[in-house]
Each structure stands twice: as structure tokens, then as C-alpha cells.
Amino acid sequence: MTVDPPIRLADPADADEIAAMSREFIEHGLPWTWRPGRVLKAILNPETNVAVIRAERGLVAFGIMEYLESDAYLVLLAVRAESRRRGFGSALLEWLEASASVAGAQRIRLDARRDNAAARTFYNEHGYHEVAINRGRYSDGVDGIRLEKWLRPANAR
């Protein structure tokens, strides 16, 4: 899926807004761990892909994916509240998946809060399977749900 405005890799000037969106839409009510300095490190890290959708009015969406040995880990993904249900999240996820596939990843993993029905439905719609419950994973005591999607069979390298 293509979107307008288009998806691109983040540059250092995006770090502050990404951190602010993480605090508002993902880490809301939790300690703020994705502060601008950490986001900037991710942007500059060649093992991490930070992708954004930016409109004239500001950042619309961002996603951060880390490349591990044969897996990729989707660390954060968020779309500004007023821009949801218009396909931006799907386009960004598909872009990050395609990049992970080209980089050789076999599988993408991520964790979602058990109480985040929107995210769980969104990832299920994109072919992610819920494979484990991580009791009390989040600092407010909410369980984590581990999801994963295989990009190619486990034994095909």
C-alpha cells in the first residue's frame, strides 16, 4: 500500500516529535523511556530502521524496527490519533516488513499490551500470531502479548 504523504527513513530532526508521540500514544501512563536522545541513537544505528510519515502539519506516524540475528523486532509503531483508520499504520508496517525481508529477517516479533485491543486486532489483521503471554510485563502490571509473523519458513535461510 502506498500513502500520501510518503514513507521515508527518519532523520535526526524527527527525533523530538517521535519521542513526543511515543510518550503520548505508547508510553502514556508509564515511565517515558523513548526520550529524544534514545530515538536519535536509534535513527543513527544501522541495525535499526526508523521510518516516518510526515505531513506539512507535522509527524503523522512512525515505526522503529531493530534487526537482530535472524529476527527483526518491531519496537514501536504509532499513528497520531486523528489520522488513524486511514491505512497509515498498515502502510508503515508493510514498509518495515519489506525492509526486514530484504535485510534477511526470517521473522518479525513484537510485544503489545494485553489491554491494547486496537493494536492486537491491527497486528492480527496483518498476519501476526499471538504466541505467549508475559505476565506483568509492563511497569503498571499489565500483561504483555508476544506476537510474531514468519516472513519465510524457519529452515529456509
Range 24-83, binding ligand COA (CB under 6 A): 25-26, 76-79
d(CA 32, CA 26): 9
Least CB distance to ligand COA at residue 92 (A): 8
Decide: 76 and 66 in contact? Cβ < 8 Å.
no
Stretch that binds ligand COA, among 3-11, 42-50, 112-120, 140-148 (CB under 6 A): 112-120
Site map (CB under 6 A) of ligand COA, residues 132-151, x = contact: --------------------
d(CA 97, CA 22): 20
Q: Which is nearer to ligand COA, 28 or 157 (CB)?
A: 28
Q: Which is nearer to ligand COA, 132 or 152 (CB)?
A: 132
Q: How far is CA 96 from each of CA 4, 46, 101, 116, rounded to the nearest angstrom? A: 17, 14, 9, 21
